[in-house]
Amino acid sequence: MRKLRENRHNRVYHLISRIAHRAFYLDADERDRFIDVMKRSAAFSGVWLLAWCVMTNHVHILVYVPEPEKLSDDDILARMRTLYRKSRFD
């Protein structure tokens, strides 16, 4: 088993993920949905999406991880609304 890497702030990371068995499952609509969820997840978590490439069987994502910031309750709710789109928190 590979050793866990130490993640640090103020760094850029290249993320790769493949579909099991190198199958080709992502059509154009699924790639669009993936990008939408990826953008909302990045906005929720506070990472910066720098670049991405979504193919039919794998993705490459380049992200910058900034220093953590203190969030107010309103900031947290705003991020949750971004992640889940429809406000379930009002």
Does 67 map to a domain? yes
> Residue 53's pLDDT is what?
96
Does 89 map to a domain? no
Residue 36: domain span: 18-84
> Residue 90's pLDDT is what?
58
**Domain count within the chain:** 1
Whether pTM > 0.75 for this model: the answer is: yes
HEC sequence for the chain: CCCCCCCCCCEEEEEEEECHHHCCCCCHHHHHHHHHHHHHHHHHHCCEEEEEEECCCEEEEEEEECCCCCCCHHHHHHHHHHHHCCCCCC
> Residue 86's pLDDT is what?
67
Per-residue model confidence as pLDDT tens for the chain (90 residues): 777 777 789 999 999 998 877 777 888 898 999 999 999 999 999 999 999 999 988 899 999 999 999 999 999 989 998 888 765 655
Q: Are 37 and 48 in contact (CB under 8 A)?
A: no
Does 46 map to a domain? yes
Does 35 map to a domain? yes
Does 3 map to a domain? no
